[in-house]
Amino acid sequence: MFDAHRRLGGKLIEFGGWEMPVQYTSITDEHLAVRNAAGIFDISHMGEVVVEGPAALDFLNYVLTNDVRKLQVGEGQYTLMCNEDGGVIDDLYLYRLGDSDFLLIINASRIDDDFAWLQKQHAAFPARGAMMLGNASDKFAAVAVQGPKVVEFIAKVFPGPSQAGTKVQQVIDLKKNHAGAWDFQGTRVWVARTGYTGEDGFEVVAPASAIESLWNKLLEAGRDSGVKPAGLGARDTLRTEVCYPLYGHELDEHTTPLEAGVGFFVALDKGDFIGRAALAKQKASGTSKKLIAFKMFGKAAPPRPHYPIWTAVEGGSQLGEVVSGTQSPSLGIGIGLGYVPPEFAAPDKELAIEIRGRRFPATIVKKPIYRK
Amino acid sequence: MANIPSDLKYAKSHEWVRVAGDTATIGITDHAQHELTDVVFVELPEAGKQLKAAEACAVVESVKTASDIYSPVGGQITEVNKALTENPALVNTDPYGEGWFFKIKLSNPGDLSNLLGPDQYKAHIGD
């Protein structure tokens, strides 16, 4: 994909061991293309882990927080992998590709840590002989096509019914979180109706050898719909606007899903799983910090990670820090996410964000910050 | 191919200087605005502030990053471009005209000889 990115004028940066495009034209243009038409992202840096066998489901239900038993063949779910203290090792997507066949899509920056953890848990799992675990990150690559106009052209690249996974007559019939397999130029690829932008769209996982051709075909098919290549910069502004967490910002090993506001994906009543005891305790007694979303008032520099958050009074006290922040291309104002003590976490509460030694007013808003 | 007007002097840190008598107008080059892409905010110094040559004196923010601006020359700031508060995008659309940052009364005209001419700046950015 390196050549494809260079040809499109991509500004490359080093990210998780890969060279990834931050932007092709401008972050704002790419962001707005996704909101209004369509954008295509190379997400090949993400990791893939396969888990197979009769014990795979029970194993995954033990190491992940969401309830794996809910998944039909072809269905995916957002989920988290926690340590014994309930701290997040990674957030990820889990797909059930077959009865005993699972695919995990994990963050690029966490591939080694996640796989080491999974191997450790596998070694200690009583039914370990009835399942296998494989790190397929080098074998697979992925692209995401996102935006309201993706439905106009995606079926040109994946025509006809699915060959495996969710049974659909056409790719645009896939419901949210569902995936199916299609044959692309003689290679089996998985297409899921998922995304990280807040727009309708699909993510495609394919063998690395097929990805450049897939990228080119999608760009060609979407030309009349206005599809644009989009980089990591736009990916970050899009997900910040809809308050999706990014590991290393909203989530880390010292932060629980409850603190990060993703308790919906923690199934405390499904039975035991790693971190359950700590999370149940925290649910009962309350968290010491809570993730909030905020908007700046008027003309101010954009909020950025690590900027201090203060109470909005003279002098004031520091409440916490910004974990994600940017100028919102859709709203034209500074937006961000940060942690504050739970008693300060109500919408409409006023805050002050410290930027280069001066404080600027902001208000806590309900999530998502941007809504269509 | 960046635009590099021949009547200006340049700093290695991508600021330009237009001299008129003992006053200089400062901004950032076409190359710089192109690298930054969408400028969303400019933090300007206050009029009256004394600066040394190469001192950090302003900040320009794009969607992704904040970058420091360094004054190519020393002196006292006489005027700042308030239009950039309302419309930071002027830095992108007209970097040598409406996108100017501030004017400074030179305290040491010798500072100008430390700057690059248009050909030297062109070589510096590898155009």
A195-214 pLDDT, tens digit each = 999 999 999 999 999 999 99
For the cut 90, the answer to whether the pLDDT of residue A13 exceeds it is: no
- Sign of the Cα pseudo-torsion (A254, A258, A263, A268, in order): positive
Instruction: Give me the domains of chain A, ranges plus CATH numbers.
Output: 2-44+139-241 (3.30.1360.120), 47-135 (3.30.70.1400), 288-365 (2.40.30.110)
Tell me if B38 and A27 make a contact (CB, 8 A cut-off).
yes
Res B73: pLDDT: 97
A327 Cα to chain B: minimum distance (Å): 6
Res A18: pLDDT: 67
Report the DSSP beta bridge partners of residue A285.
none
B15 within a domain of the structure (yes/no): yes
pLDDT range class, residue B123, cuts 50, 70, 90: very high
Q: What is the percent of chain A where pLDDT is above 90?
A: 92
CA distance B89 to B58: 16
Give, as one character, the DSSP assignment of residue A251: B
Convert the pLDDT of each residue in A246-282 to its tens digit. 999 999 999 999 999 999 999 999 999 999 999 999 9
B91 within a domain of the structure (yes/no): yes
Report the relative pairing of strands A350-355 and A358-365 from DSSP bridges: antiparallel
- Among B35, B36, B37, B42, the strongest candidate for a mutation testing the A interface, having the largest count of A CBs within 10 A, is B37
- Sign of the Cα pseudo-torsion (A256, A257, A259, A264, in order): negative
Maximum alpha-carbon separation in chain B: 38
Average pLDDT, chain A: 95
- Sign of the Cα pseudo-torsion (A345, A84, A77, A34, in order): positive
Tell me if A28 and B61 make a contact (CB, 8 A cut-off).
no
Report the relative pairing of strands A227-230 and A38-42 from DSSP bridges: parallel
CA distance A47 to A114: 10
Number of domains into which chain B is organized: 1
Please check whether residue A302 touches B, CB under 8 A. Answer: yes
Res A4: pLDDT: 75
What's at B26, amino acid-wise?
I
CA distance A67 to A78: 10
B122 within a domain of the structure (yes/no): no
In degrees, rounded to 5, the angle at the alpha carbon of residue A186 between the alpha carbons of residues A185 and A192 is 75
Res A3: pLDDT: 73
CA distance B75 to B36: 27
CA distance B33 to B69: 12
For the cut 80, the answer to whether the pLDDT of residue A9 exceeds it is: no
A vs B: CB pairs below 8 A: 41
CATH number at residue B31: 2.40.50.100
For the cut 80, the answer to whether the pLDDT of residue B86 exceeds it is: yes
Please check whether residue A107 touches B, CB under 8 A. Answer: no
Please check whether residue A28 touches B, CB under 8 A. Answer: yes
pLDDT range class, residue A14, cuts 50, 70, 90: low
Res A11: pLDDT: 72
Which phi and psi angles does A46 have, rounded to 5°?
-65, 160
Convert the pLDDT of each residue in B7-32 to its tens digit. 999 999 999 999 999 999 999 999 99
For the cut 70, the answer to whether the pLDDT of residue A80 exceeds it is: yes
- The answer to whether the CB of B17 falls within 8 A of the CB of B34 is no
B2 within a domain of the structure (yes/no): no
B36 within a domain of the structure (yes/no): yes
B16 within a domain of the structure (yes/no): yes
Res A243: pLDDT: 98
- Sign of the Cα pseudo-torsion (A214, A219, A224, A225, in order): positive
The interface predicted TM-score of the complex, written ipTM, equals 0.85
* Contacts B64 to A, Cβ<8 Å: 22-23, 27, 233, 326
> Among residues A159, A142, A97, A125, which one has the least CA distance to residue A273?
A125
Q: What pTM did the predictor assign? A: 0.93
B4 within a domain of the structure (yes/no): no
Please check whether residue A298 touches B, CB under 8 A. Answer: no
A351 Cα to chain B: minimum distance (Å): 20
Please check whether residue A324 touches B, CB under 8 A. Answer: no
- The answer to whether the CB of A10 falls within 8 A of the CB of A24 is yes
Q: Give the pLDDT mean for A76-104.
A: 98
| Among chain B residues, CA nearest to A232 | B64
Considering CB atoms only, which of B38, B41, B64 is closest to A301?
A: B41
B126 within a domain of the structure (yes/no): no
CA distance B10 to B19: 11
Give, as one character, the DSSP assignment of residue A169: S
- The answer to whether the CB of A21 falls within 8 A of the CB of A1 is no
Tell me if B38 and A26 make a contact (CB, 8 A cut-off).
yes
Res A279: pLDDT: 98
| Among chain A residues, CA nearest to B63 | A327
Res A299: pLDDT: 83
Tokens of A205: 């996982």
Q: Does an H or E element contain A348, and which?
A: none
Range of the structural domain that residue B106 is part of: 9-112
